[in-house]
Amino acid sequence: MIAPMAASDIPSPPLPSPSVPVFPPGFLWGVATSAHQIEGAVAAREPSVWDAFTAEPGRVKDGSTAEVACDHVARYREDVALVRDLGVDAYRFSVSWPRVLAPGGLDFYDRLVDELCAQGVRPVPTLFHWDTPLAVEEAGGWQSRDTAFRFAEYAATVVARLGDRVTRWITLNEPAEVTLLGHAIGEHAPGRKLLFDALPVAHHQLLGHGLAVRALRAAGVRDIGIANSHGPTWAASEEPADAEAADFYDVLLNRLFCDPVVLGRYPEGIGELMPSADPVEDLRIISSPVDWYGVNYYQPTLVGAPGGDSGAGTEFGGLTLPSELPFAPREITGYPVTDHGWPVVPEAFTELLVGMRERYGDRLPPIVVTENGCSHDGVSDPERIRFLDGHLRALHRAVEQGVDVRGYFVWSLMDNFEWAEGYRQHYGLVHIDYATQRRTPKASYHWLRDALAARGA
């Protein structure tokens, strides 16, 4: 009798050799981070919703905070050197609105941008990556229309200071997560459980995006995008109830945030739920033309009709979902999973981009992949190498099928504070030892550096 194989006996697939597909000329390679997840230096900025949220017991799984995080404000030169040595063209970071509100807060970004330019790396700032200033939240936050206008004023302040050296700008990062995780189910800051009453949060962020586009244009900027998270939604079966639930989820995650920007209208049934005295004018602002459209892709979602109502929350992908939702995500089996529990499905990346091209046609601006990556622990990280290799090839297949893709940013340059997961997830190409702040490039960093260096060889 042959003994069954232990998991450790199953041979891993060989590591892909360091090479990346050939993308069209001008394709921009980059790595991404966000302010709250790496900066530290909290005393030199105003508090944000995430400071308040992490201070509440039980909100962050390992009880940690981003008070020090990667100590990036003090160590930015070392971090920029890591970006430069990787051989990418660009660095996507976010500007912390609460830091800009503090006296002298913009000085840090001035120094960071100078350093990037000096090292030959193109700065690509995002104006909002989830860290709403607490004072803005206390005045109503994204539930209030006024926040959209305050955001545009802040955008104008930042571009006035950095616009002489920064030419490419991103308005918002993942308004879907701020709406759904932050305001609908309360798993992220500010921790509200408004369910469908969270929809105004989406509208006000999108309005803020459109107003910020106008503020940036008024300052002469010609290279603007938004970073939205998208993924294909798969119905759990062909049963009408599952198909309907999957369709609903697709509207919430994908179309609610893309249709208004690209088409200037909300998906059917959504517009009338949005708070606005003048919806036509709001949508005109929201659809102010962007120069490219940022896609953050991580995984597809398998969705079915909700099961029996036990009253208990369902655990899914690290989140606790309320049982009242009209859809139920299901586990995707048959694929590797990351430490975050997310399935690794490169072909769904092609499906997503080709699907967007089919849905929006010529109205779809050129795509920039503003985030893609995975959580795996360890400095030896063959899983991340396979993930990057597989997703870059999947991206190339989308290009071959006619999708206009202009850039790709890996999430993330370095391990960092992964929101409600704390420091339990490791998305970086660079390992951070949080006790010493020592940076160690992982095997995946070396792989990507060698692959980029081999282009055209």
Active site (catalytic) residues: 174, 371
Cβ 282 to ligand IFM shortest distance, Å: 26
**Is residue 151 helix, strand or coil?**
helix
* Cβ distance to ligand IFM smaller for residue 129 or 150: 129
Whose Cβ is closer to ligand IFM: residue 151's or residue 411's?
411
Looking at the DSSP bridge assignments, the partners of residue 438 are 433
**Residue 242 near residue 302, CB atoms below 8 Å:** no
Residues of this chain, 385-414, that bind ligand IFM according to CB under 6 A: 411
User: Closest distance between ligand IFM and the C-beta of residue 244, in Å?
Assistant: 28
By CB under 6 A, residue 174 contacts ligand IFM: yes
One-letter amino acid of 89: D
| 8 A C-beta contact, residue 416 and residue 70 | yes
Closest to ligand IFM by CB, 228 vs 287, is: 228
Count CB neighbours of 199 within 10 A. Answer: 20
Per-residue burial over 45-81, b if 16 or more Cβ lie within 10 Å, else e, is: bbbbbbbbbbeeeebbeeebbbebbbbbbebbeebbe
Nearest residue (CB) to ligand IFM, 236 versus 430: 430
Nearest by Cα to 67 from 91, 88, 99, 39: 39
Count residues contacting ligand IFM (CB under 6 A)?
Answer: 8
Which CB sits closer to ligand IFM, 148 or 295? 295
Minimum distance from CB of 188 to ligand IFM (Å)? 10
Nearer to ligand IFM, 174 or 259 (CB): 174
As given in the structure block, the two tokens for residue 284 are: 């005109």
Is position 228 an interface residue for ligand IFM (rule: CB under 6 A)?
Answer: no
Of 393, 399, 426, residue with least CA distance to 411: 426
Nearest distance, CB of residue 70 and ligand IFM, angstroms: 13
Q: Which of 418, 426, 442, 449 binds ligand IFM (CB under 6 A)?
A: 418
Contact residue for ligand IFM among 28, 29, 31, 34 (CB under 6 A): 34
Cα 295 off chain centre by: 8
228 or 350, CB closer to ligand IFM? 228
Q: How far is the CB of 419 from ligand IFM (least distance, A)?
A: 6
Backbone angles phi, psi at 177, to 5 degrees: -70, -40
Q: Is 158 exposed, middle or buried (0-12, 13-18, 19+ CB in 10 A)?
A: buried
Burial of 164 (0-12, 13-18, 19+ CB in 10 A): exposed
Q: Does 381 bind ligand IFM (CB under 6 A)?
A: no
Q: Which residues pair with 410 in a beta bridge?
A: 31
Residue numbers 190-209 binding ligand IFM by CB under 6 A:
none
221 vs 376, which CB is nearer to ligand IFM? 376
State the nearest-atom distance from the C-beta of 362 to ligand IFM, in Å: 28
> Minimum distance between the CB of residue 431 and ligand IFM, rounded to whole angstroms?
16
Per-residue contact flags (x/-) with ligand IFM for residues 279 to 298, judged by CB under 6 A: -----------------x--
* Partners of 229 in the β-ladder: 296
Q: Is 351 in the site for ligand IFM (CB under 6 A)?
A: no
DSSP E strands in 192-304: the ranges are 224-229, 233-235, 293-296, 301-304
Q: How far is CA 149 from CA 99, 138, 146, 168, in A?
A: 18, 16, 5, 21
Nearest alpha carbon to residue 302 among 350, 347, 235: 235
**Dihedral of CA 275/277/283/288: which sign?**
negative
CB-wise, 79 or 174, nearer to ligand IFM?
174
Task: State CA 334 to chain mean position distance.
Answer: 25
DSSP H helices, 11-68, are 35-38, 49-55
- Copy the structure tokens of residue 338: 């990351």
Q: Quick one: which of 176, 182, 185 has its CA closest to 323?
A: 185
Q: Is residue 371 within the footprint of ligand IFM (CB under 6 A)?
A: yes
| Minimum distance, C-beta of residue 174 to ligand IFM, in the bound complex (Å) | 6
- Whose tokens are 């302010």? That residue is 35
Residue 374 CB, nearest distance to ligand IFM (Å)? 9
What is the contact surface with ligand IFM in residues (CB under 6 A)? 34, 37, 174, 296, 371, 411, 418, 427
